[in-house]
């Protein structure tokens, strides 16, 4: 623990020896390509496959009518809504799957796709989520009996009346309307699968890009059990994954069609999306319209917050949240501040856009919540003329007040927010920067300093509240130590680049004293790994990492018994130091873990079970609450609106650190994915539902060129309830960075009375805002 050992998985990755879904080649494998809708909302009048079937190599074209015969044309979403696999009558968003072409090679499949003639009758789509609620708006989900509007659900938390009273009486109330833009995870590897159904043995092997292979196996069995694919007949394998970020949690229609076709023709079927399909049709993230309000006193005491959300879910609710939390963990949005009055409510609507709402490097809507609270906190500071750092210091929950109960029902486990912000301010040279800014303002130059001091909520989650489709959100570890003292460990999670093969080995090494290089970590094969809910929302270390520690401790207990037997002493007379047990007061009388394990196979005490293995399913008692203090400094060109991020200091507190190098790598990647929505990324639709940036030419993913020099550091406040005191870090930077950048830009523009700009804040938005304020 705490050592920056090199990532074990990189040996294969840096040599190009990773093994991804598209690397899989099976004998007789067929290829699938998907015909997609050019319209956001249209009736399908006819699908003519004649020309497509004439193309050499094309063997079939599958439509919704074909799937309907097997009752496979609709499927459930993770949020218990329904989603089309292939449409029979109506398409609901641009790029929706319309038909699948099956061919003997990928080129023929693509040619076949071009030759399928679909006749549509376009209809006027609902694109604006506000207009979706108009009484005269067309009802989109006519498939749902009795559905009379486009409203999906209402959610609320907190005390509505107390909050209303507070806001009507408060000295200071600030309010901003903000949009957290619809964005895409845009992982390097797109989604895909190879469905391999073996007719003789009635067995399906599904190789697929999934972050949650076990849950997928159960879902396949639940959906296809009626045609004989019961759970023991299904094996899901998730090979190496080139980035997931939440986008590889949902079940996409392509997977289901591939399974159906393989089942029908008895041959393996490969489907891999191209870049535009991935960007245009796969689950989006965010897209919350938030009215954020804060109430407080003139001298800077925050008294309460109120958030109202309109959530644009596209044509179905295919978000990936725990069942009981339609807005995910948005209720963490009261932030790092000590007040007890809050109310939040949300309404979700259907529109003619792709479905989604995935937890993009985010523990279920935490990014949206953190942006709202951190932006409105700065707005409040601006209103009363107080330095935003000073305001935060004044309102932080104090270190000694943990565990702290939030007004929305969470119990924050631990934190030291004052220490984090102090460290960030020292690192960036806050006082000096404010002096520099004052000088520049006199000269009319634009410089801004933005702060974000966020509290995260990760590690879903305790079984009393957390499940997905009824399956509790525990996670698991199984450790098997071989006679020679080397181990294999398997997990219910699935790395997509997080470095599990290294960090899990380090946890076990710490607990058992077996060197990390002799612990092989495996995930992603449901035939071998223990059941778990997968990797997303920074849950792997808090759940499976904890399971690894507890399973290792079970083995240590067994080791103690064997050592006592071998050394002929009482268990109570033994002491442990990593790697060996020794007799108290006689350190030369010792048995190493390797000697003990060997004995477990060759000379174990009579009556004791032979072998040396343990499994643990860890059900966390609480979530973990990582935090961070980020400070961003920007310079803005008044004439062009160009924004330069001059400095970015990120101080994270993720509890005890397993591998500092991996944490730093996670923070660098996460910050870059944080600058993305803050300055560049947004999926834009026109009023007809055309996506206007459906390729990487127009959808701007930041590259090394756009990334500033990230200055990282940490404070350590261990989680009191996690076995090794760790909290999780993968998503903190993605969650914390956008408001720091937005706050810095708005701070730079504040002398002109600009109090808010929606992200992504582009040079044009800045330029336009300045012109509107009369700056020429």
Q: Rounded distance, CA 560 to CA 105, Å?
A: 58
Q: Residue 512 to residues 330, 548, 592: CA-CA distances in angstroms?
A: 38, 11, 10
Choose which of 691, 726, 749, 769 interacts with another protein (CB under 8 A).
691
Q: Rounded distance, CA 295 to CA 171, Å?
A: 8
Q: Could you give the 3-state DSSP secondary structure of residue 529?
A: coil
Catalytic residue among 193, 362, 632, 654: 362
688 binds another protein (CB under 8 A): yes
690 binds another protein (CB under 8 A): yes
Map residues 657-686 to x or -, x wherever contact with another protein holds by CB under 8 A: ---------------------------xxx
Choose which of 133, 567, 569, 700 interacts with another protein (CB under 8 A).
133
Question: Is 362 known to be catalytic?
Answer: yes
217 vs 289, which CB is nearer to another protein?
289
Q: Rounded distance, CA 417 to CA 406, Å?
A: 15
68 vs 688, which CB is nearer to another protein?
688
Choose which of 156, 383, 522, 575 interacts with another protein (CB under 8 A).
156
The closest of 179, 187, 144 to 312, measured between CA atoms, is: 179
44 vs 600, which CB is nearer to another protein?
44
- DSSP class of 157: E
10 vs 134, which CB is nearer to another protein?
134
610 vs 692, which CB is nearer to another protein?
692
SS3 track for 619-636: CCCCCECCEEEEEEEEEE
Residue by residue, DSSP assigns 291-313 as EEEEEE-TTS-EEEEEEEEEEE-
467 vs 688, which CB is nearer to another protein?
688
Choose which of 31, 39, 268, 677 interacts with another protein (CB under 8 A).
39
Q: Residue 584 to residues 174, 344, 589, 605, 757: CA-CA distances in angstroms?
A: 64, 58, 9, 22, 66
CB of 226 to another protein, least distance (A): 34
Residue by residue, DSSP assigns 638-661 as TTT--EEEEEEEEEEE-BS-S-HH
356 binds another protein (CB under 8 A): no
Name, in order, each residue with C-beta under 8 angstroms of 422's C-beta and a sequence gap of 6 or more: none
CB of 774 to another protein, least distance (A): 22
Question: Is 556 known to be catalytic?
Answer: no
The closest of 363, 361, 370, 368 to 184, measured between CA atoms, is: 361
Catalytic residue among 94, 96, 211, 498: 211
DSSP-assigned beta bridge partners for residue 36: 97
154 vs 398, which CB is nearer to another protein?
154
Catalytic residue among 7, 36, 361, 490: 361
Choose which of 128, 159, 383, 706 interacts with another protein (CB under 8 A).
128
The closest of 212, 537, 211 to 362, measured between CA atoms, is: 537
343 vs 382, which CB is nearer to another protein?
343
Choose which of 13, 70, 107, 130 interacts with another protein (CB under 8 A).
130
Choose which of 60, 64, 66, 120 interacts with another protein (CB under 8 A).
120
Q: Residue 636 to residues 391, 641, 643, 679: CA-CA distances in angstroms?
A: 25, 6, 5, 13
Angle between helices 253-265 and 213-224 (to 10 degrees): 60
Q: Rounded distance, CA 406 to CA 403, Å?
A: 10
Q: Which of residues 217-256 bind another protein (CB under 8 A)?
A: none
Q: Which of residues 6-25 bind another protein (CB under 8 A)?
A: none
**How many beta carbons lie within 10 A of that of residue 721, not counting itself?**
18
Choose which of 100, 126, 212, 310 interacts with another protein (CB under 8 A).
310
156 vs 573, which CB is nearer to another protein?
156
171 binds another protein (CB under 8 A): no
CB of 302 to another protein, least distance (A): 22
Name, in order, each residue with C-beta under 8 angstroms of 57's C-beta and a sequence gap of 6 or more: 103, 104, 105, 107, 108, 109, 111, 112
Map residues 67-106 to x or -, x wherever contact with another protein holds by CB under 8 A: ---------------------------x------------
Q: How many residues does the chain have?
A: 776
Map residues 276-295 to x or -, x wherever contact with another protein holds by CB under 8 A: -------------x-x----
Q: Rounded distance, CA 222 to CA 220, Å?
A: 5
Q: Residue 482 to residues 287, 599, 618: CA-CA distances in angstroms?
A: 50, 11, 23
Strands 302-312 and 192-198: unpaired
Question: Contact region for another protein (CB under 8 A) — 111-119, 203-211, 237-245, 323-331?
Answer: 111-119
52 binds another protein (CB under 8 A): no
Angle between helices 593-602 and 546-567 (to 10 degrees): 70
Question: Contact region for another protein (CB under 8 A) — 68-76, 143-151, 241-249, 653-661?
Answer: 143-151
Question: Is 211 known to be catalytic?
Answer: yes
Choose which of 18, 38, 243, 403 interacts with another protein (CB under 8 A).
38
Choose which of 15, 25, 148, 588 interacts with another protein (CB under 8 A).
148
The footprint of another protein on this chain (CB under 8 A) covers a number of residues equal to 42
484 and 512 in contact (C-beta within 8 Å)?
no
CB of 695 to another protein, least distance (A): 8
Choose which of 76, 122, 138, 429 interacts with another protein (CB under 8 A).
122
The closest of 36, 52, 63 to 103, measured between CA atoms, is: 52
Question: Is 445 known to be catalytic?
Answer: no
413 and 717 in contact (C-beta within 8 Å)?
no
DSSP-assigned beta bridge partners for residue 178: 290
How many degrees, rounded to 5, is the angle at CA 375 between CA 371 and CA 378? Answer: 150
Map residues 500-539 to x or -, x wherever contact with another protein holds by CB under 8 A: ----------------------------------------
Q: Rounded distance, CA 12 to CA 25, Å?
A: 19
CB of 419 to another protein, least distance (A): 37
The closest of 366, 361, 376, 452 to 410, measured between CA atoms, is: 366
133 vs 488, which CB is nearer to another protein?
133
CB of 223 to another protein, least distance (A): 30
The distance in angstroms from the start CA to the end CA of the chain is: 57
Map residues 541-560 to x or -, x wherever contact with another protein holds by CB under 8 A: --------------------
40 vs 487, which CB is nearer to another protein?
40
Q: Rounded distance, CA 745 to CA 765, Å?
A: 11
Q: Which of residues 371-430 bind another protein (CB under 8 A)?
A: none
The closest of 482, 501, 483 to 491, measured between CA atoms, is: 501
159 binds another protein (CB under 8 A): no
CB of 181 to another protein, least distance (A): 11
Choose which of 177, 297, 463, 484 interacts with another protein (CB under 8 A).
177
Cα-only R_g, the chain: 27
Choose which of 247, 694, 718, 728 interacts with another protein (CB under 8 A).
694
CB of 106 to another protein, least distance (A): 20
Classify the phi-psi angles of 249: left when phi > 0, otherwise alpha if psi is within -120 to 50, otherwise beta.
alpha
- Interface positions with another protein (CB under 8 A): 38-40, 94, 114, 116-120, 122, 127-131, 133, 148-149, 151, 154, 156, 177, 179, 289, 291, 308, 310, 345, 347, 684-688, 690-695, 698
User: Catalytic positions, please?
Assistant: 211, 361-362, 731
């Amino acid at each position: 623990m705490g050592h920056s050992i090199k990532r074990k998985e990189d040996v294969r990755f840096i040599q190009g020896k990773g093994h991804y879904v598209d690397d899989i080649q099976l004998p007789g494998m067929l290829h699938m390509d998907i015909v997609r809708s050019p319209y956001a909302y249209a009736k399908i009048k006819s699908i003519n496959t004649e020309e497509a079937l004439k193309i050499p190599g094309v063997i079939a074209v599958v439509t919704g009518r074909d799937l309907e015969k097997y009752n496979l044309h609709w499927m459930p979403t993770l949020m218990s809504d329904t989603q089309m696999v292939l449409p029979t009558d109506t398409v609901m968003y641009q790029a929706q799957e319309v038909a699948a072409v099956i061919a003997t090679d990928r080129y023929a499949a693509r040619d076949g796709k071009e030759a399928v003639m679909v006749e549509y009758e376009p209809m006027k789509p609902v694109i604006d989520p506000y207009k979706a609620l108009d009484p005269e708006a067309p009802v989109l989900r006519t498939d749902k009996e009795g559905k009379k509007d486009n409203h999906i659900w209402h959610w609320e938390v907190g005390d509505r009346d107390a909050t209303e009273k507070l806001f009507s009486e408060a000295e200071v109330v600030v309010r901003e309307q903000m949009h957290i833009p619809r964005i895409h995870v845009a992982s390097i590897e797109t989604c895909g699968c190879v469905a391999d159904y073996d007719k003789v043995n009635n067995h399906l092997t599904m190789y697929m890009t999934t972050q949650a292979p076990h849950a997928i196996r159960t879902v396949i069995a639940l959906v296809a059990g009626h045609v004989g694919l019961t759970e023991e007949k299904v094996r899901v394998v998730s090979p190496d994954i080139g980035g997931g970020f939440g986008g590889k949690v949902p079940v996409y229609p392509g997977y289901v069609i591939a399974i159906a076709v393989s089942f029908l023709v008895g041959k393996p079927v490969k489907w891999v999306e191209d870049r535009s399909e991935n960007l245009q049709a796969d689950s989006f993230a965010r897209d919350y319209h938030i009215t954020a309000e804060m109430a407080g006193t003139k001298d800077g005491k925050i008294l309460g917050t109120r958030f109202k959300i309109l959530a644009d879910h596209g044509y179905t609710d295919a978000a990936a949240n725990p069942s009981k939390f339609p807005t995910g963990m948005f209720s963490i949005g009261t932030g790092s501040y000590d007040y007890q009055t809050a109310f939040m409510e949300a309404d979700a609507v259907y529109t003619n856009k792709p479905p989604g709402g995935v937890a993009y490097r985010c523990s279920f809507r935490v990014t949206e919540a953190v942006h709202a609270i951190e932006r409105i906190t700065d707005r409040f500071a601006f209103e009363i003329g107080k330095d935003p750092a000073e305001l935060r210091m004044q309102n932080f929950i104090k270190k000694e007040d943990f565990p702290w109960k939030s007004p929305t029902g969470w119990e924050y486990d631990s934190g030291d927010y004052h220490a984090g912000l102090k460290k960030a301010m020292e690192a960036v040279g806050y006082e000096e920067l404010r002096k520099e800014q004052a000088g520049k303002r006199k000269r009319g130059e634009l410089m801004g300093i933005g702060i974000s001091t966020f509290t995260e909520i990760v590690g879903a989650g305790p079984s009393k509240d957390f499940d997905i489709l009824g399956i509790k959100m525990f996670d698991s570890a199984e450790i098997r130590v071989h006679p020679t003292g080397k181990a294999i460990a398997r997990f219910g999670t699935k790395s997509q680049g997080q470095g599990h093969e290294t960090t899990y080995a380090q946890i076990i090494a710490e607990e058992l004293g077996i060197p990390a290089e002799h612990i092989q970590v495996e995930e992603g094969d449901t035939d071998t790994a223990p059941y778990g809910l997968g990797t997303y929302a920074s849950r792997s270390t808090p759940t499976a990492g904890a399971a690894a520690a507890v399973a290792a401790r079970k083995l240590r207990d067994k080791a103690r018994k064997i050592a006592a037997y071998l050394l002929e002493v009482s268990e109570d007379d033994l002491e442990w130091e990593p790697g060996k047990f020794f007799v108290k007061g006689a350190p030369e009388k010792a048995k190493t873990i390797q000697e003990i394990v060997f004995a477990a196979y060759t000379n174990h005490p009579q009556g004791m079970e032979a072998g040396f293995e343990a499994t643990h399913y860890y059900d966390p008692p609480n979530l973990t609450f990582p935090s961070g203090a980020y400070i961003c400094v920007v310079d803005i060109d008044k004439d062009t609106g160009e924004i330069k991020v001059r400095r970015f200091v990120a101080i994270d507190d993720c509890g005890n650190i397993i591998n500092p190098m991996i944490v730093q790598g996670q923070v660098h990647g996460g910050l870059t994915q944080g600058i993305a929505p803050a300055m560049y990324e947004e999926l834009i639709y026109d009023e007809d539902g055309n996506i206007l940036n459906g390729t990487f030419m127009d959808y701007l993913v930041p590259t090394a060129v756009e990334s500033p020099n990230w200055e990282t550091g940490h404070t350590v406040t261990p989680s009191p309830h996690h076995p090794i005191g760790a909290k999780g870090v993968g998503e903190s930077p993605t969650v914390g960075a956008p408001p720091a950048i937005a706050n810095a830009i708005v701070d730079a523009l504040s002398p002109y009375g600009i109090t808010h700009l929606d992200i992504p804040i582009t040079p044009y938005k800045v330029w336009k805002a300045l012109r509107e304020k009369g700056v020429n």
